[in-house]
Structure 1
Amino acid sequence: MQNNPVSTQSCQVANLQLLSEGIYRVILKPHEGYFPDYRAGQYLEILLAGGEACAFSIASPPVPGQKELELHIQKLSSSANSIELFNELEQGSISIRMPKGQCFLESVPDKPLVFIAAGTGFAQMKSMIEFSLNKSGHQDIYLYWGARSPEGFYMPNLPIHWASSQFHYHPVVSDALGEAGWQGRHGLLFEAVIDDKNLLLGSEVFISGSVQMVYATFDALVAENFQAKNIHSDVFAYAPRS
């Protein structure tokens, strides 16, 4: 398959909305024309004035003539880059470079899809899920979204809105034992997937999270007879194991 060419573009920050726990929904619009073509699951880089490039998954599914992109960005008060990023976002205009990334859906495969997201890794999965839900004939879709606390599910109603006989949502809280009122699943994210493996073996699996989380999940799934060739993550490209 041929990659879409990477290009740089100036765009307007049309909306900056605090959702939960320092996580913001950012809406970008091009100053002129359209955004470059991309595939569901790819990411862009925001180019800071100092030259640093900050990568964020595109949460929007691709459509022809795209004039709006959604990002989910967590503000980190301990990070100078994050502080500078939000200063530039609040000024209302940024430069981006896109599309980037090899973990994406170009079409919907004739098999179930499993999306495993930690924190704001949900953004990448949102793009691929909405792309898949808009295609007729898709098979079962499973979303496993992990957070440290229930407040970490910063778009709590969206997966419920997607729910159907073919879309299955499993929020998993890692610190749930200390959370009064949480009645859902708790523990490590990959443990929930393994608990359901009889439904999921033979699926295409997509993982988004930290490098450590992705490799721990990959190893755990392969040990439970998931096929390594069917497990995908951007981490495999930017942080390959030696």
Structure 2
Amino acid sequence: MGMTVQIEPADKSFTVEASQTILEAALEAGITLKHSCRDGQCGECRAPILSGAVSYADPAGIKLEQSDLEGKTGLMCVGHATADLVIEAPEVTELEGISVQKCAGRTMAKEAVSDDVAVLKIAPAPGINFAFKPGQYLDLTVKGYDTRSYSMASTDADALIELHVRKMPDGAVSPFIVDELKPKAIVTIEGPYGTFYVRDSDSPIIMVASGTGFAPVKSMMLDLVARGNTRPVALYWGGRCQQDLYMDQLCQQWAELNRWFSYIPVLSDSVDEGWNGRTGFVHQAVVDDIADMSAYEVYACGAPIVVSSARRDFVELCGLEPDRFYSDAFV
């Protein structure tokens, strides 16, 4: 017999079986709880527990905080209910109407945009409305290979789903996708996942991206432009070298056409000949420019070290409210 999970203040509930994590059961019920990595490493799914208890199959293998150990909070993506639960998750109302689905897709185009990044465009199966919020990600499965997660760089108003795939030197899947996957290939897509999306508020926005962490930022920006946004948005995009900023021209165009948008590219490794832009760590460039972040919202995506460093320094050095830091680390 399953346990009941009550969500406050939304007054929603669902049933979770002993074999399911709380997040799995919620998604199955069409309720999207806050989450990102789905394996207990990023902490995005942490939610306050108002009553009840949560257990973990492998507590040593996940990143628990003291509040989790005390039962005040829990990681919903790896937690199992040991009693009826009441949790606090106000974000669920913002994702109503979006549910996880699994379907076939066909690769319609692939373009190399740098030495190690390819832009992949996929058409969902006919009749499928693959609805998602800009900033979310999907799971991609190519026959014969393991499943991998990729952020969507398009919006659900587009006919094709755009993914940015970086070839990892020791990768089990990405080298095949970048070098060998052919147009018209049949793949499987499942999603959307994640709660990385722009919140509805009047706060100015800082976006921080490293490498292909630009993909969800592109989706967010396309949506903001289409909706006539006027909130100030500053994008800091970091790469090792200039080719890592593989859609630099698009960002420059956004800055030229939208008075509310500013773009600051940052290179961290060897500085390319002719580079006159910022250098160093991308999150440090933000700290140098915006000493007081108390009024801001931050959206950060990319390498885990970039996301964690940004979270730490923005909160500790710049006064950012911790609950205004939204992230999707590529763990």
- TM-score (norm. length: structure 1): 0.88
Computing the radius of gyration from Cα coordinates, the structure with the larger value is: 2
Shift, 1:203, TM fit? 1.4
- 1:56 equivalent in alignment to 2:150: yes
Query: Matched residue of 1:233: which SS?
Result: strand
Aligned with residue 90 of structure 1, among 155, 168, 182? 182
Aligned letter for 1:97? E
Matched, 1:140 2:244: no
Structure 2 residue runs of 5 or longer lacking an equivalent are 1-92
Cα root mean square deviation, aligned: 2.1
Residues 140 and 200 (structure 1), Cα distance of their counterparts in 2 relative to 1, 3 Å cut: farther
Q: Which secondary structure state, in structure 2, belongs to the residue aligned with residue 99 of structure 1?
A: strand
Instruction: Provide the rounded CA distance (Å) in 2 between the counterparts of 1:81 and 1:137.
Output: 37
Q: Aligned to 2:316, which of 223, 229, 233?
A: 223
The one-letter code sitting in structure 1 at the alignment partner of 2:127 is G
Aligned counterpart, 1:74: 166
Structure with the higher helix share, 1 or 2: 1
For residues 86 and 188 of structure 1, the distance between their equivalents in structure 2, rounded to whole angstroms, comes to 27
- Residue 194 of structure 1 aligns to which amino acid in structure 2? V
User: Which residue of structure 2 aligns with residue 197 of structure 1?
Assistant: 290
Separation in 1 of the partners of 2:181 and 2:99? Answer: 25
Report how many aligned residue pairs link the two structures: 233
Indicate whether 1:100 and 2:193 are aligned. yes
Once the two structures are TM-superposed, the CA of residue 51 in structure 1 deviates from its matched residue by 6.2
SS of match in other structure, 1:76: coil
Structure 2 CA distance for aligned equivalents of residues 201 and 162 of structure 1: 26
- Is contact 1:88-1:94 (8 Å) kept? no
> Are 1:19 and 2:113 an aligned pair?
yes
Deviates more, 1:116-125 or 1:155-164: 155-164
Q: Distance in 2 between matches of 1:16 and 1:137?
A: 30
More deviation, 161-170/115-124: 161-170
Counterpart residue number, 1:169:
263
Take 1:199 and 1:217, find their aligned partners in 2: how far apart are those partners? Answer: 14
Give the share of equivalent positions with the same residue, in percent. 28
Which structure's relative contact order is higher, taking Cα pairs within 8 Å and 6+ residues apart?
Answer: 1
1:212-241 CA-partner distances (Å, limit 9, x unpaired): 221111101111211111001134xx96xx
Measure how far apart 1:89 and its partner are.
3.1
State whether residues 142 and 186 of structure 2, in contact with CA within 8 Å, keep that contact through their aligned partners in structure 1: no
How many Å separate the matches in 2 of 1:211 and 1:232? 13
CA distance in 2, matches of 1:136, 1:185: 29
Matches of 1:57 and 1:18, distance apart in 2: 17
Moved more, 206-215 or 116-125: 206-215
Give the Cα separation in 2 of the matches to 1:57 and 1:137.
22
Q: Does residue 213 of structure 1 match 2:316?
A: no
Give the drift of 1:67.
2.5
The structural deviation recorded for 1:33 is 1.8
